[in-house]
Chains A and B, each alone.
Chain A
Amino acid sequence: MRALVVEDDAVVGPDIAQALHDAGFIVDIATSGPDAWYRGDVDDYDVIILDLGLPQLDGLSVLKRWRSNGRAFPVLILSARGDWTEKVEGIEAGADDYLGKPFEMGELIARVRALVRRAAGRASAVIEIGTLTLDTRRMSAAIAGKQLRLSPLEFRFLDYLAHQPDRAVPAGELAEHLYGVADASDSNAIEALVTRLRRKLGVGVIETRRGFGYALAGSA
């Protein structure tokens, strides 16, 4: 597992690197924006920890450049300002998670591992069902070529439906898949999730088969 730590602080950067090293990562450190951009562009990392306050080129610009070049590795941003506008900007620029400074090192490691786990084990598989395209490595979706921003839960929901192309999936089964142990009331949550997804995808993409469950349009 390769990780890149982008942090200009002489104490915090090596500290994160050490903790990641202890957690079994092979770690590189970049201390400036251009340096980070270059390394991210040419090397394949499994995860990048990106501080937003960088000299020369700020972290947000670096992240946008990576994403526009099609670099899909998971990125966790460290936000120093810690306000929500900065978090929103970070996520919209393509970050996968954020952590406000100061943070618990244990939490950082846990988040990094979660990011790697989400992306790992997925070949760069693209599933197409009707007008819907799912990129299982980037955990992104597109409708007729138009990119959508999905939450991890929403992606897992679509991903599960996409892998059951031959049948309608009951709400209870979906709840069990998404939440592990589920009870009857969780079908309400599934219903709310479908409502929200339909607003993002358009009404026709997720079909309700009465008495059976949900299915993607274009599947059997």
Chain B
Amino acid sequence: MNRQSLRLRLLLGATAAIFLALAVSWLALTLLFERHIERRVEEDLTRNAQQLVANLTLDTGGKPTVDAAPTDVRFVQPGSGLYWQLSASSASLRSASLWDQGLPVTSTVASDEWQTRVANGPFKQRLILIERMVRPLHAGTTVLVQVAQDRTSISEARNEFARELAQYLLVLWIVLSIAAWLQVHLGLSPLRKLRDELAVLHSNPTARLTSDHPSEVQPLTQAINALADAYQHDLDAARRRAADLAHGLKTPLAALSAQSRRARTDGAVSAADGLDRAIAAARNAVEAELARSRVALIRRARPGAQAPASVVAEQVIGVVERTDFGADRVFEIDIPEELMVPMSPEDLAELMGAVIENAARHSRRRVRVQGRQVEQTRSVCVEDDGPGLDATLVQEALTRGTRLDEHSDGHGLGLAIARELVEATGGTLLIDSGDLGGLRVTARWPK
């Protein structure tokens, strides 16, 4: 797929857009998760702080004391990450976990509500800290109550969440990309069908695109069909003109022959010879042009044409039997009556006429015409008991691109026409030696 590929563009666009959306989601969800944990930690800290406040008294020396300290075991392990501290103006009381360190104290702390901040604490820990000024009952001074927790655990939880979320989103990205690929595939399938139909149109100019396309593609197919129609029309007109021209030349050629004969009887023999040569060349060109226009018409013919091989063979042989070279030949016909060949009866008559006339012309006594259907492959075979044809001549007669009018002898023109006719209907023409000793020409149409 190159850069122009619609599919590639759609796929790249879809995967990139999905990736971007998932990345933004990942970032936002991770932040939300962190905020959520922080709130839970604040709640825990507040509960501990409230317990401290409830049991807080000042002794006579103004030193804060707590009757029942929070019981969390981390408050007694030094450097555990969970701390509290009560600071009065003269003295302070700390959880055992602080050991000989203290929580950072500021002077501007509100007394009406718990405040949260993040601060650098002891043991090089980054702390989330809540604090409030409290005035114990019956006391004259205020006490700063602080409870703090190491933020490391929050960061760890957040990182772990982010990692797991990333894995999940990666899988989601893959699944969504596959879904996008499927969507593109299904969405572009009408174009694939269009391409197949265009390939058929290319090989058979009479084919047209079907009208069974989505409404977005329909205008395109209509335009292509209109173009093909116009092209076909021009081509037909040109062919008709060529065929008309060839037909129109026949009678003048006959008249020219008459002049040549007159010249010959008047004694202008060499002039008549030259004239006859020119007339013969013109005749060959005319015949070849007519053969070509016939082949072109076959390609134009509707597909699905069928002709009964045995009937057409009988008809054609009925004609050949009346020609001077066919009058004393025996024609053996061995064709199943139900054998149908995929051409119109007119075209099959043309094919069989060319091959059977050729066979009769070169045969000694017998011409055999056989038809077979083996599974879906249908074949018609014509052989004679004549001298046969040299292998190189056969090759020459059948070589693709050999101009029909280059063959002025009987074999060549007939076989070249036959090959064009068979190949125009999707078959193949094979030439070899038959059981009767002469040439065997086999036309075969696979299913």
A residues contacting B by CB (< 8 A) are 9, 11-12, 15, 18-19, 80-85, 87-88, 90-92, 95-98, 101-105, 110-111, 114, 149, 151-154, 178-179, 185-186, 188-190, 192-193, 195-196, 199
> Can you identify 5 A-B contacts, CB atoms within 8 angstroms?
A12-B251, A83-B294, A83-B350, A105-B257, A152-B328
| B294→A88 contact, CB < 8 A | no
A80 to B286, CA, bound (A): 12
Per CB-CB distance, the 9 closest pairs between chain A and chain B, nearest first, are: A151-B321, A84-B353, A15-B258, A189-B365, A84-B349, A11-B255, A88-B315, A193-B330, A102-B253
Nearest Cβ in chain B — how far from A37, in angstroms? 22
| B322→A104 contact, CB < 8 A | no
Q: Does B254 contact A (CB under 8 A)?
A: yes
- Residues of the A chain whose Cβ atoms lie less than 8 Å from the Cβ of B333: 196, 199
| A12→B315 contact, CB < 8 A | no
- Residues of the B chain whose Cβ atoms lie less than 8 Å from the Cβ of A97: 322-324
Q: Does B283 contact A (CB under 8 A)?
A: yes
| B366→A188 contact, CB < 8 A | yes
Main secondary structure of the interface of A (DSSP, over half): helix
| B324→A11 contact, CB < 8 A | no
Near A by CB (< 8 A), chain B positions 249-273 give 250-251, 253-255, 257-258, 261
Nearest Cβ in chain A — how far from B93, in angstroms? 122
- Residues of the B chain whose Cβ atoms lie less than 8 Å from the Cβ of A81: 247
Nearest Cβ in chain A — how far from B255, in angstroms? 4
Nearest Cβ in chain B — how far from A191, in angstroms? 9
B residues contacting A by CB (< 8 A) are 247, 250-251, 253-255, 257-258, 261, 279, 283, 286-287, 290, 294, 315-319, 321-324, 326-333, 345-346, 349-350, 352-354, 365-366, 368
Of A12, A87, A90, A178, the residue contacting B258 (CB under 8 A) is A12
Q: Which B residue's beta carbon lies closest to that of A111?
A: B324
| B316→A15 contact, CB < 8 A | no
- Residues of the B chain whose Cβ atoms lie less than 8 Å from the Cβ of A15: 254-255, 257-258, 261
- Not counting A102-B251, A151-B317, a sample of 5 additional A-B residue pairs whose C-beta atoms are within 8 angstroms of each other reads A88-B318, A151-B331, A196-B331, A196-B332, A196-B333
A90 to B322, CA, bound (A): 11
| A179→B322 contact, CB < 8 A | no
A111 to B322, CA, bound (A): 10
Q: Which B residue's beta carbon lies closest to that of A15?
A: B258
- Residues of the A chain whose Cβ atoms lie less than 8 Å from the Cβ of B328: 152-153, 178-179
| A91→B327 contact, CB < 8 A | no
A110 to B326, CA, bound (A): 15
| B294→A152 contact, CB < 8 A | no
A152 to B326, CA, bound (A): 9
| B321→A153 contact, CB < 8 A | yes
Query: In the complex, which of the residues A83, A84, A151 has the most CB atoms of chain B within 10 Å of its own CB atom?
Result: A84
Nearest Cβ in chain A — how far from B10, in angstroms? 54
A11 to B250, CA, bound (A): 12
Known: A97-B322, A102-B283. A92 touches B315 (CB 8 A): yes
| B322→A152 contact, CB < 8 A | yes
| B319→A192 contact, CB < 8 A | no
- Residues of the B chain whose Cβ atoms lie less than 8 Å from the Cβ of A188: 365-366
Known: A88-B316, A104-B257, A192-B332. A152 touches B250 (CB 8 A): no
Known: A11-B254, A12-B251, A103-B254. A91 touches B346 (CB 8 A): no
- Residues of the A chain whose Cβ atoms lie less than 8 Å from the Cβ of B332: 192, 195-196
| B322→A91 contact, CB < 8 A | yes
| B365→A186 contact, CB < 8 A | yes
| A85→B345 contact, CB < 8 A | yes
- Residues of the B chain whose Cβ atoms lie less than 8 Å from the Cβ of A103: 254
Known: A85-B349, A105-B261. A149 touches B251 (CB 8 A): no
A81 to B248, CA, bound (A): 11
- Residues of the A chain whose Cβ atoms lie less than 8 Å from the Cβ of B251: 9, 11-12, 80, 101-102
A186 to B350, CA, bound (A): 30
| B346→A83 contact, CB < 8 A | yes
Q: Which A residue's beta carbon lies closest to that of B280?
A: A104
